[in-house]
């Protein structure tokens, strides 16, 4: 693990910062620390929040003095040197593209001067990195959208975007976990539920996972929707060890 900078973030949090740019290498440190925080819990630690370049650890200063929290993180860093990182998950996200499910597919195609089929192909080919969750319950901040799909947001945001909508906003792609207003270019919809309060954990995707979109037909969408509702759907997940770097 790279040497981080550990600083207070207010009087109840400790921020462990690994760098200042979005990179898979920096994020590997973030994931590694989160894995160790889970594996070696410490009294007084309430929770932690991973982001692109840092992990913020919330603690109760009356249970765990700052200096002890600092030393705990240093100990975890030492452990990181000897403990292999568990395999990362790649979760497959079925998407029905275009039509009423993806009303802005043609916008994205036109903006980038490619065909709608090309948009679907280019969007469902890469493996995307989930750097962090935020903005809404279970919303993944993804890295890896091909540059030739980047499209500005809608000039006029929609008042209602359905849960599961898959969209593009500038250089970013994402999935709406909840029905909400929004200005992203909607190119498709997934039948999977990203936020599921009765499950453990309550979200489908986690920081450090990867995901891949796979194009499905409307019939398949309906079929998967039904098995998601019946709670019989098993997401397709691949496990991959990350190469040492």
Residues that bind another protein (CB under 8 A): 7-13, 15, 17, 20-22, 34, 46-54, 56, 58, 61-62, 65-66, 132-139, 141, 177-178, 180, 195, 197, 201-203, 206-207
Q: Considering beta carbons, is residue 46 or 236 the nearer one to another protein?
A: 46
- Report the nearest approach of another protein to the CB of residue 88 (Å): 16
**What tokens appear for 53 in the block?**
């370049």
- Report the nearest approach of another protein to the CB of residue 119 (Å): 26
Q: Considering beta carbons, is residue 33 or 119 the nearer one to another protein?
A: 33
- Report the nearest approach of another protein to the CB of residue 180 (Å): 8
Distance in angstroms (rounded) separating the CA atoms of residues 102 and 123 = 13
Is 88:209 a contact under the CB 8 Å cutoff? yes
- Asked whether the CA dihedral 128, 130, 131, 133 is positive or negative, the reply is positive
Is 103:116 a contact under the CB 8 Å cutoff? no
Q: Considering beta carbons, is residue 58 or 150 the nearer one to another protein?
A: 58
- Report the nearest approach of another protein to the CB of residue 58 (Å): 7
Q: What are phi and psi of 52, to 5 degrees?
A: -55, -45
SS3 state at 210: strand
Query: DSSP character for 150?
Result: -
Q: Considering beta carbons, is residue 172 or 212 the nearer one to another protein?
A: 172
- Report the nearest approach of another protein to the CB of residue 66 (Å): 6
Q: Considering beta carbons, is residue 3 or 67 the nearer one to another protein?
A: 67
- Report the nearest approach of another protein to the CB of residue 147 (Å): 19
Q: Considering beta carbons, is residue 197 or 244 the nearer one to another protein?
A: 197
Is 101:57 a contact under the CB 8 Å cutoff? no
Cα 107 from chain centroid (whole Å): 25
Is 166:188 a contact under the CB 8 Å cutoff? yes
- Report the nearest approach of another protein to the CB of residue 120 (Å): 27
Q: Cα–Cα distances in Å, from 211 out to 17, 83, 92, 141, 204?
A: 25, 25, 6, 11, 11
Q: Considering beta carbons, is residue 65 or 99 the nearer one to another protein?
A: 65
Rg of the chain (C-alpha set): 20
């Amino acid at each position: 693990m790279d040497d981080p900078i550990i600083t207070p973030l207010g009087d109840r949090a400790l921020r462990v910062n690994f760098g200042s740019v979005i990179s898979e290498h920096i994020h590997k440190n973030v994931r590694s620390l989160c894995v160790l925080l889970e594996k070696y819990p410490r009294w007084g630690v309430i929770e932690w929040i991973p982001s692109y370049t840092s992990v913020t650890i919330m603690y109760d200063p009356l249970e765990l003095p700052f200096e002890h929290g600092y030393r705990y993180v240093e100990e975890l860093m030492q452990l990181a040197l000897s403990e292999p990182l568990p395999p990362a998950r790649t979760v497959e996200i079925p998407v029905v593209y275009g039509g009423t499910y993806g009303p802005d597919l043609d916008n994205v195609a036109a903006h980038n001067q490619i065909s709608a089929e090309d948009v679907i192909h280019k969007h469902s080919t890469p493996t995307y990195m989930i750097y962090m969750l935020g903005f809404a319950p279970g919303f993944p901040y993804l890295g890896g959208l091909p540059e030739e799909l980047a499209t500005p947001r809608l000039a006029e945001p929609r008042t209602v975007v359905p849960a599961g909508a898959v969209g593009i906003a500038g250089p970013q792609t994402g999935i709406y976990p909840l029905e909400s207003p929004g200005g992203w270019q909607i190119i498709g919809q997934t039948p999977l539920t990203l936020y599921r309060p009765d499950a453990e954990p309550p979200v489908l995707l986690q920081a450090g996972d990867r995901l891949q979109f796979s194009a499905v037909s409307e019939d398949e969408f309906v079929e998967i929707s039904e098995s998601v509702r019946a709670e019989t759907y098993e997401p397709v997940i691949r496990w991959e060890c990350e190469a040492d770097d």
